[in-house]
């Protein structure tokens, strides 16, 4: 019996993971969240709904994604065998689509004709615009004005898909401000609008349902490990922004006590500089965007601006389930600095012929450090959460190249 | 009886309704807030709602978002706001002050420290926008144990069973949000508000004040007819924004806007 058996029962009925999570919203949204909770509880127990979700994942997203043995890279490092869970091969190029396919189904069953989303890197925005197009739903995506600049290709992709991108000029003009604006939209249009949140954050039931929709990653990976090397892996590694790709990989392994887990936050210029996005490593508990979790904040409780090379990790909070997994010690949370991330990014391009997303490169960077402390008969699974095509402008700029 | 209860029962005896202006503390800069509080009282305010600035005011429209940004540029903290209330109390011991804001600055200060210091500063009530009753198990009893009223929001989307919970948890008055939207929105429907407020009034003896989207004397008067009080925020804060670089003109302008509402409300009463 696992020491961690109770984790599978979380969150509780009110959305709490220990002291974290919950539903800290202004009253207008309470009813919509209660309805969503009820609807999700009903549909997730319904075989037809699950079958429809699985069919979309297979035929539209292209699942299952492969578990790829990065043999050359593993050999180079000379430690554990590194296996990559290839979420980058999904339709739209990241894990985000697992969740948007699921939430779009919920939107369809709720009968609401309009969806909204917040996005940082633009991956969630693209994944939302994609499913909205397919279901004929009107789609508006809030994106920090800063991110609109640095992720121009994804902005255009959303427009091609028929979505409207609304630049957010308030606050720090990044992901947290986009989320504020999406919440304000939802409060105003709650009758006809479904809010598709892009990570395991926000008010209950979002952290739970986004985790559930992403857990297909971990379920597949678990079986693929057994098929590929006849046992469970020694460790799992995933990057953590809001934490959806990490929860998706970790959740089906939580009660496998022998499997170690590492979440990797954005170390930016280094924790000591304060220029990072690592609330689990350097923040403290507080309340933002509808849940209690670790936050980057000043001593007066104001939310701080974050810094990361990757827009998708540039967020001052983190999903509440991660906060709890950290406190109880089930998952270890590490950081990778921008410099370490660039090194891992280049290594994967040159050695394995895969251009990874800068977000995912955080997981790769820590994997390369951990692998060398292990032996060649040990196995590491890394969530390669997305492909790096969207990041080539950023990387070129850092290399001093203009395209 | 708390100061808030006293205010409402006096108004009731006079056949009048509460006028409750909101400004963000520290806007346009902290040194102006105290004078503005006194000016609002002189112009006819019965209760003051003082906003505690927050970096991520997700229930507020652009007007109050910018007010928070102005206040935070000067570093206005929750402790500073409590200090302002303490100073206000040195010369005004009658007008209730309700702090309105978001939970995180209170979490950062610590619930117990906040409850004690708010009470000793002379705060009367606390409205935490992102704290529904379900999440209030810890903070609400602490506030009440310091004789602070805990004001909750009720919205057009609030169903009757939740309304009962909110009534049971709250004290002082209920804040009925007039519309689906953020503060400062422009689509208030007086007819719909009247109908719902009447239904809620049948469930409780607590006074009901209506806010969000009140721009002028006419709307204030119409809402006063169907409720126990009217809250005015963005209409005042937008004046502060306009005069942010001419702060001496703010108090006279707020006086003008609020007096007009006062008159309109009292004429109808
Ligand atoms: C490829 C990729 N990985 C990871 C993330 C971070 O999100 P999360 O931590 O929710 O997986 C993003 C967000 O945009 C992303 O695009």
CA distances from A159 to A142, A177, A254 (A): 13, 21, 39
Distance CA A33, CA A30 (A): 5
Distance CA A347, CA A132 (A): 36
Query: Which residues on B lie below 8 Å from A302 (Cβ)?
Result: 54-55, 72, 104-105
Ligand 1, CB within 6 Å, residue ranges: A 94, 96, 120-121, 123-124, 199, 239-246, 312-313, 357, 359-360, 385-386
For residues B94-116, give the mean pLDDT: 98
Query: What pLDDT score does A151 carry?
Result: 86
- Which strand ranges, in their side-by-side order, compose the sheet holding A81-86? A67-69, A81-86, A379-384, A235-239, A260-268, A332-337
Check whether the bond before A235 is cis (ω within 30° of 0): no
Nearest to B180 among A28, A30, A300 (CB): A28
What is the complex's ipTM, to 2 decimals?
0.96
Q: Is B156 left (phi over 0), alpha (psi -120 to 50) or beta?
A: alpha
- B135, pLDDT greater than 80: yes
Query: Which residues on A lie below 8 Å from B156 (Cβ)?
Result: 28
- B132, pLDDT greater than 90: yes
Nearest 10 degrees: Cα torsion A43, A44, A49, A55: 160
- The catalytically annotated residue of A118, A181, A220, A352 is A118
The model's pLDDT over B202-246, given as tens digits with 9 standing for 90+, comes to: 999 999 999 998 999 999 999 999 999 999 999 999 999 999 999
Q: Establish if B78 touches chain A: CB-CB under 8 angstroms.
A: yes
What's the maximum distance between 2 C-alpha atoms anywhere in chain B? 48
Distance CA B41, CA B92 (A): 9
- B268, pLDDT greater than 80: no
Nearest to B55 among A14, A187, A302 (CB): A302
**Token pair belonging to A111:** 């009968």
* CATH at B193: 3.20.20.70
Q: Is B212 left (phi over 0), alpha (psi -120 to 50) or beta?
A: left
Strands of A217-289 (E only): list them. 235-239, 260-268, 284-288
**Token pair belonging to B148:** 């602070």
Query: What pLDDT score does B188 carry?
Result: 83
Nearest 10 degrees: Cα torsion A32, A35, A36, A40: 180
Q: Which of A99, A244, A382 to mutate to test the pocket of ligand 1 (most atoms within 8 A of CB)?
A: A244
Per the structure, the count of domains in chain B is: 1
Distance CA B253, CA B257 (A): 6
Q: Chain A residues with CB-CB distance to B under 8 A?
A: 14, 22-32, 170-171, 176-177, 179-180, 183-184, 187-191, 285-290, 295, 297, 299-303
- Residue A129 has phi, psi (to 5 degrees) of -60, -35
Nearest to B155 among A27, A300, A302 (CB): A27
Q: What is the DSSP letter of A364?
A: H
Distance from CA of A358 to the nearest CA of B (A): 27
Query: What pLDDT score does B58 carry?
Result: 95
Residues near B148 by beta carbon (within 8 Å), at least 6 away in sequence: B115, B118, B119, B123, B124, B125, B126
Q: Establish if B84 touches chain A: CB-CB under 8 angstroms.
A: no
How many helices and strands in chain B, by DSSP H and E? 12, 9
Q: Spell out, as residue ranges, where chain A has pLDDT lower than 50.
A: none
- Which strand ranges, in their side-by-side order, compose the sheet holding B153-154? B149-150, B125-128, B97-101, B48-51, B18-24, B229-232, B208-211, B174-177, B153-154
For B254, the domain range is 3-268
- B9, pLDDT greater than 70: yes
- Residues of B with active-site annotation: 49, 60
- Which strand ranges, in their side-by-side order, compose the sheet holding A193-195? A164-168, A138-144, A114-119, A193-195
> CB of A245 within 8 A of CB of A214?
yes
Query: What pLDDT score does B184 carry?
Result: 87
The model's pLDDT over A208-238, given as tens digits with 9 standing for 90+, comes to: 999 999 999 999 999 999 999 999 999 999 9
Query: What pLDDT score does B218 carry?
Result: 93
pTM above 0.90, yes or no: yes
Query: What pLDDT score does A133 carry?
Result: 98
> Sorting pLDDT into bands at 50, 70 and 90, what band is B247?
very high
């Amino acid at each position: 019996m696992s020491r961690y058996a109770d984790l599978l029962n979380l969150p509780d009925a009110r959305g709490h993971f220990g002291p974290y999570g919950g539903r800290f919203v202004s009253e207008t949204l309470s009813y919509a969240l209660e309805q969503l909770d009820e609807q999700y509880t009903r549909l997730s127990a319904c075989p037809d709904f699950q079958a429809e979700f699985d069919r979309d994942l297979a035929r539209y997203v292209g699942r299952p994604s492969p578990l790829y043995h990065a043999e050359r890279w593993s050999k180079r490092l000379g430690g554990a065998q590194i296996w990559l869970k290839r979420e980058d091969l999904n339709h739209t190029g990241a894990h985000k689509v697992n969740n948007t396919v699921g939430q779009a189904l919920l939107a369809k069953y709720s009968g609401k004709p309009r969806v909204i989303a917040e996005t940082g890197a633009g991956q969630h925005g693209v994944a939302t615009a994609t499913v909205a197009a397919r279901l004929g739903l009107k789609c508006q995506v809030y994106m920090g004005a800063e991110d609109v600049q640095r992720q121009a290709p994804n902005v255009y992709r959303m427009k091609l898909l028929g979505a409207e991108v609304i630049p957010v000029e308030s606050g720090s003009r990044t992901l947290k401000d986009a989320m504020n604006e999406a919440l304000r939209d939802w409060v105003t249009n709650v009758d006809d609008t479904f809010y598709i949140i892009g990570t395991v954050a926000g008010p209950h039931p979002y952290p739970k349902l986004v985790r559930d929709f992403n857990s297909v990653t971990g379920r597949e990976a678990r079986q693929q490990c057994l098929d590929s090397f006849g046992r469970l892996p020694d460790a799992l590694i995933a990057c953590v922004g809001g934490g959806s790709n990490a929860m998706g990989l970790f959740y089906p392994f939580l009660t496998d006590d022998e499997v170690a887990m590492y979440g990797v936050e954005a170390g930016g210029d280094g924790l000591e500089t304060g220029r990072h996005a690592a609330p689990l490593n350097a923040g403290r508990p507080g309340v933002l965007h509808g849940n209690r979790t670790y936050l980057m904040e000043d001593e007066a409780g104001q939310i701080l601006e974050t810094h990361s090379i990757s827009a998708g990790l540039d967020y001052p909070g983190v999903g509440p389930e991660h906060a709890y997994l950290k406190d109880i010690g089930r998952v270890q949370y590490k950081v990778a600095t921008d410099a370490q991330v660039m090194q891992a990014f280049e290594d994967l391009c040159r050695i394995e012929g895969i251009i990874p997303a800068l977000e995912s490169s955080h997981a790769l960077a820590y994997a390369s450090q951990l692998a060398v402390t292990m032996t060649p008969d040990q196995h590491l699974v890394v969530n390669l959460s997305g492909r790096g095509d969207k990041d080539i402008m950023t990387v070129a700029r850092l290399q001093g190249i203009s395209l | 009886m708390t100061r808030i209860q006293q205010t409402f029962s006096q108004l009731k005896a006079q056949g009048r309704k509460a006028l409750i202006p909101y400004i963000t503390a520290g806007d346009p800069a902290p040194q102006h807030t105290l004078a503005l509080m006194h000016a609002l009282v002189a112009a006819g305010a019965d209760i003051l709602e003082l906003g505690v600035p927050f970096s991520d005011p997700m229930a507020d429209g652009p007007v109050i978002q910018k007010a928070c940004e102005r206040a935070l540029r000067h570093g206005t903290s929750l402790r500073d706001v409590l200090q302002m209330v303490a100073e206000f109390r040195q010369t005004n011991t009658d007008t209730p002050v309700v702090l309105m804001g978001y939970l995180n600055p209170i979490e950062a200060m610590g619930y117990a420290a906040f409850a004690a210091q708010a009470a000793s500063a002379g705060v009367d009530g606390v409205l935490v926008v992102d704290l529904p009753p379900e999440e209030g198990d810890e903070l609400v009893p602490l506030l009440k144990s310091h004789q602070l009223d805990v004001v909750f929001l009720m919205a057009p989307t609030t169903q009757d069973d939740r309304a009962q919970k909110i009534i049971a948890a709250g004290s002082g008055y209920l804040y009925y949000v007039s519309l689906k939207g953020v503060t400062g929105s422009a689509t208030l429907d007086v007819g719909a508000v009247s109908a719902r407020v009447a239904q809620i009034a049948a469930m409780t003896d607590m006074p009901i004040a209506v806010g969000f989207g009140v721009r002028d004397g006419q709307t204030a008067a119409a809402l006063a007819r169907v409720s126990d009080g009217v809250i005015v925020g963005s209409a005042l804060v937008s004046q502060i924004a306009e005069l942010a670089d001419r702060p001496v003109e703010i108090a006279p302008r707020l006086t003008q806007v609020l007096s007009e509402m006062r008159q309109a409300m009292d004429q109808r009463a």
